[in-house]
Amino acid sequence: MSDRESIAEKAAHQTYRGVWAVARGWFRVPEQAPTLPVHAGGHVDAMRPALGYLRYLKLQFWLLFALIALVTLAAWIGLTIAFPVVGAALAIPALLLVAVPRIIAFVAMHLRYDTTWYVLSDSSMRLRRGIWVIHEATITYENVQNVMVRQGPVQRYFGIANVMVQTAGGGVSAGPHGATSSGGHHGLLEGVADAAALRDLIMDRVRASRHTGLGDERRAGEVTGVSWTPEHLDALRSIRDAVKLLQRR
């Protein structure tokens, strides 16, 4: 039983891969993760959402499927009782009406998972999502203002959470599941397994930055803070000592 199931699963997987490979060419969907230019010695980490996210999407899918099927079935039974001939004629169209959009939705759900990429480098992140319209956001950690983690009860069951990174400028309303996936001034990492670690990683970068993330010039920082080196302090100490000796006289 389980053997047959796994064979069927593999066949479905292969079919999906094959069809998707062809569709990818037509729809010009890039196969690889997006890249980020890095300087020598830096490294880039490309990841997809956690597997729990796919399970979460599947649960949503089956719940919606059950609801649509039940409503359609109830309507069809009602119709068949009232007009048996019309009911019999409409049996197959009703079945198609339920099945076809749901098959498309199922494939779209997998595609959504497969085309979502989160790429993190030492200095910035690039987030890509979408099948029909591909949306790609690039944000440097220097510009990040805050990081929010959002998790609903069902997401907690699947061990996933949404991480939202916001930059200055606002205009993003934070709903229960973060914000919309497009639009500006934020980046959304949906369905991340280890949200706390990711939040800490980003916040460490933000704390390390001496700037407010509003486009401060590097030159301004150098004049005030960076220029006081041990050499400066040594020179200042010897001035102090020299002045003390003068006073003593």
Partner 1 sequence: MSRNLANEIVSDLRVARGAPFDPASVTRPDPRLMTYYTIVAALTLIAFPITFIPLWIRYHTLRYRFDEEGVGMQVGILFKRETYLTYRRIQDIHVTRGLLQRWMGLATVAVQTAAGASSAEMTIDGVADPDGLRDWLYSKMRGVADHAAEPSSAARPQDESLAILREIRDELHSLRERSAS
**Residue with structure tokens 């899918």?**
61
**Number of residues binding to partner 1, judged by CB under 8 A:** 55
Minimal distance in Å, beta carbon 102 to partner 1?
Answer: 23
Residue 155 makes contact with partner 1 by CB under 8 A: no
- What is the rounded distance in angstroms from the CA atom of residue 48 to the CA atom of residue 248? 71
Choose among 190, 173, 208, 213: nearest CA to 56.
Answer: 190
For residue 220, state whether it binds partner 1 (rule: CB under 8 A).
no
231 binds partner 1 (CB under 8 A): yes
Q: Does 111 bind partner 1 (CB under 8 A)?
A: no
User: At how many degrees (to 10) do helices 91-114 and 2-27 cross?
Assistant: 70
Identity of the residue numbered 92: I
85/21 Cα distance (integer angstroms): 44
Residue 165 near residue 137 (C-beta atoms within 8 A): no
Among 52-60, 66-74, 97-105, 131-139, which window interacts with partner 1 (CB under 8 A)?
Answer: 131-139
Find, among 141, 128, 132, 133, the residue nearest to 35 by Cα. 128
In the list 107, 134, 148, 193, the residue contacting partner 1 (rule: CB under 8 A) is 134
Q: Which stretch binds partner 1 (CB under 8 A): 49-57, 72-80, 82-90, 223-231?
A: 223-231
User: Which segment (2-10, 15-23, 58-66, 177-185) binds partner 1 by CB under 8 A?
Assistant: 177-185
- For partner 1, the closer CB: 102 or 211: 211
Judge whether 192 and 202 are in contact, CB under 8 Å.
no
Asked if residue 141 binds partner 1 (CB under 8 A), the reply is yes
Decide: is 93 part of the binding site for partner 1 (CB under 8 A): no
Task: Restricting to residues 184-203, name those near partner 1 by CB under 8 A.
Answer: 184-187
Cα–Cα–Cα angle for 152, 153, 158, rounded to 5 degrees: 95
Distance between CA atoms of residues 2 and 9, nearest Å: 10
Establish if 98 lies at the interface with partner 1 (CB under 8 A). Answer: no
Least Cβ distance, residue 27 to partner 1 (angstroms) = 6
Q: Return the number of the residue (200 or 222) whose C-beta is nearest partner 1.
A: 222
Of 22-61, binders to partner 1 (CB under 8 A) are 27-29, 37, 39
Angle between helix 51-82 and helix 91-114 axes, rounded to 10 deg: 170
226 makes contact with partner 1 (CB under 8 A): yes
Among 154, 120, 151, 152, smallest CA distance to 35 is for 120
Q: By the criterion CB under 8 A, which residues form the site for partner 1?
A: 27-29, 37, 39, 122-124, 132-143, 167-172, 182-187, 209, 211, 213-218, 222, 226-227, 229, 231-232, 235-236, 238-239, 242-243, 245-246, 249
